[in-house]
Structures are given as structure tokens and as C-alpha cells.
Amino acid sequence: MKSAVGTLQNMNWSLVFADFKEITKVRLAVSVVFSSIAGYCLGAETINFFHLLYLATGGYCMVGASNAYNQVIERDLDALMKRTKNRPLPAGRMSVNVAMTIAITLTILGVFLLYQLNPKTALFGAISIFLYTSVYTPLKTITPLAVFVGAIPGAIPFMLGWVAATNDFGIEPGTLFMIQFFWQFPHFWALGWMLDEDYSKGGFKMLPTGKKDASTALQIILYTIWMIVISVIPVFGFTGRLSLSVPAAIVVFLMGMVMLIFAFKLYEKKDNVSARKLMLASVSYITLMQLVYVADKFLQ
């Protein structure tokens, strides 16, 4: 009997943990934390592991809070879409009160931890939550311009790490911001292309033209080109302490060109398979690009 009760308790806790991961979007949150740590490593003259811990935990809290608020706001729309209908709120496994408690707790804890690094880091973290929940989320059902607004909080983490390490905002974190800002468009429009039918059920307007057409694909190509250009700008010495060696710049450029080839394939074929390949290429690009930047700094 005791064994059965213990098994049931373990199952309950595993379900609670699974729902917590779902409402905070653990995979997205971890990728954001990775970006912020990369930015920290680029900005820091010496690595402070306590600061890294504050940044990683605080960053996870901020992203988790944003996602929890988002799922509270969109719970009725999530119930209409195949990919989101089993989330904790639309599936009825979690109440709005519990979700809001999680969101508010993570907000307070996140701001507190980032403030331990410096006030600027906490401020940018708070701005990202505000823009994501109060501007981007409501706009998603109104206009495709929502993606432009959403690209701002989405681009903050890479920059945030530098600010956390230096307590300074200048050309260096601005460049990191712009790289990730332009990367958002091919990434999210490829995702939006794949999931367009599902998004339409929820009333979300994610593609720039509202259609899976040549114009959307062309815009994906143009933003990918801008991403490539900005990603290699540090090699020219215009970006202060943020530098890139010629070999590293060539590697970053070639990775960007691979992504651009997938963007051209989408323009040519205009199908979900091509969109998926571009989306996966974009995920690989942002991770590998950040690793190249960090490795290049410490190998120079």
C-alpha cells in the first residue's frame, strides 16, 4: 500500500514538474540562457561563476515569467490549436491563479537576481517581459508587425550577457542585439510558415504578408542577408571591444550562407519541408555563431 502511495506521489510530482517546464517553455528558456551566457563570456574580462549563476537563473526566471503570462493571456486561443491545446491551462491541468502565481514569482525572483549583477541588467530583463507580454502578445492577433515587436525582447539575451558582465551599454552589446534581432525574422517566419494553418485557427497573424507566398520568402531572404552582414561586422574593427578574427568571420559568414541557401530553397519551393529545413538551420546558426564568437575571443 505504501509503495503504491509513494508511486502515485512521484507521478504527481513528475506531472507538476512537466507542467512547470511546459508553462515556462523550458527549451526556449534554456536557449535564451545560453545566449546570455555567451554574451557574458564575450564581455567579461574574467569569468565570475557566481555572476554566471545569477545570470542563468535570473534569465530563466524572466523568460519563464514571460511565457507563463503569455499562456495565461492566450489560453482560450491555445485551446483552438493542435500544437498548444495540451498546454497546462487549456487542458485544465493548471488554474489561472496558479499560472499567475508562477509568473509573478518568477518575475520578482528574476529581477532580484539580475539586479545583483547591476541595475541595467535588471532593467533590460524587465523591459523584455513588458514588451513580450504587453505589446507582442496582444498584437499577434492584430497585425504581422507583432513579429517586429517580438524580435526586440527576443534579441535582448545576447546583449544582456554583455551588460551583465560590464554594466555598460554601447556599440558592443548593440551589435550583439542587432545580430539576434535580424536572426529572429527568418527563424520565426520559417516557423510561422510551417505552422500557418494552425496559427490561423487561433487568429494569429505571423507571416509578413499573411500568406505563404513569394513576398514572404523574399523578405526572409533579405533579413537573412542583413543578419549575415551584421554578424561579420566586428571583423572590421568598428565595434569597440567586440572583435572577430578573419578566420572566425569566414566561418560565421559561411554558416550564414548555408542559412541563406535554405532561404532561397524556400523561395523556390514554397513548401513546409523547405520552411522546416530553414528553421532548423536557423537554430543551428545562432548556437554555432555564438560558440564561434566566444571561442574566437579566448583563442586570440
Helical segments of the chain, H only = 2-23, 26-43, 49-73, 75-78, 96-117, 119-130, 137-139, 146-166, 171-194, 196-202, 214-232, 246-269, 272-299
Q: Confidence band (pLDDT; 50, 70, 90) for 255?
A: very high
Residues 6+ apart with CB under 8 A from 300: 243, 245
pTM of the model: 0.90
- For residue 205, what are the CA distances in angstroms to 180, 189, 208, 219, 274? 22, 11, 8, 16, 20
Closest CA to 280 of 206, 191, 147, 218: 191
Closest CA to 220 of 265, 250, 253: 265
In tens, the pLDDT along 82-133 reads: 888 888 889 888 889 999 999 999 999 999 999 999 999 999 999 999 999 9
CA distance 112 to 58: 8
In tens, the pLDDT along 38-58 reads: 999 999 988 999 999 999 999
In tens, the pLDDT along 144-178 reads: 889 999 999 999 999 999 999 999 899 999 999 99
Domain limits, the chain: 13-169, 170-300
Q: Which residue bears the cell 517553455?
A: 25
> Residue 99 burial by CB count (10 A; 0-12/13-18/19+): exposed, middle or buried?
buried
CA distance 114 to 55: 6
Take residue 281 and report the three cell numbers written for it. 538551420
DSSP string for 32-96: HHHHHHHHHHHH-SS--HHHHHHHHHHHHHHHHHHHHHHHHHTHHHHTTSTTTTTSTTTTTSS-H
CA distance 296 to 6: 51
Q: What is residue 212's three-state secondary structure?
A: coil
**Class for the domain spanning 13-169:** mainly alpha
For the chain, the average pLDDT equals 91
The pLDDT of residue 11 is 52
Q: Is residue 230 scored above 90 in pLDDT?
A: yes
Take residue 148 and report the three cell numbers written for it. 517586429
The amino acid at 271: D
